[in-house]
Amino acid sequence: MPHYATTATYRAVGRPNPALDIPAVQRCCEEWRRVYRSAYRGDHDEWRASDRAGDAFCAALPPLTSRQNCRDFIACIAYGIMIKAIAEKDGGKLLYAAQVALSSFANERKTQKSPDSATNRPKTGANSRQKP
């Protein structure tokens, strides 16, 4: 996944922001910073370091295995796009994946809440008439 981060991203990742109160966002940013520092020291190439750091940011994303993880995932992607750790084009695809995952959880909940159709079906025929 190509990333278009710049040194502005490095400064943005370190700035205080309410999004960093979300542990998942904080974890993604910490991974971005850690890998960027390491890669930049090794390569002295800002673009390669940014690309590697963007991959680390994405690798730290929460799995789409629960509704809360999906919400955290969306927060991470939105913040990643905002600070340019994730390209907008890639972010859109990732947000769509989160949308699909959330809809699957909504469908599961509907299935679990709906009563069993066999037990709650109105009775018909001779057995449905009550005696006076």
pLDDT tens column, 45-86: 888 888 899 999 999 999 999 999 999 999 999 999 998 899
Tell me what pLDDT residue 66 has.
95
Nearest by Cα to 102 from 94, 91, 114: 94
In a domain, 2, yes or no: no
Return d(Cα 125, Cα 61) in angstroms, integer: 57
- 17 located within any domain: yes
Question: For the chain, how far is it from start to end, CA to CA, in angstroms?
Answer: 73
- How many domains would you assign to the chain? 1
Q: Which domain holds residue 100?
A: 7-107
- Assigned domain for 13 exists: yes
Distance of alpha carbon 101 from alpha carbon 63, whole angstroms: 10
Q: Distance between CA 70 and CA 99 in Å, rounded?
A: 8
Q: What's the pLDDT tens digit per position in 13-55?
A: 777 888 889 999 999 999 999 999 898 888 778 888 888 999 9
Q: Is residue 123 part of a domain?
A: no
Helices (H) and strands (E) in the chain, counts: 5, 0
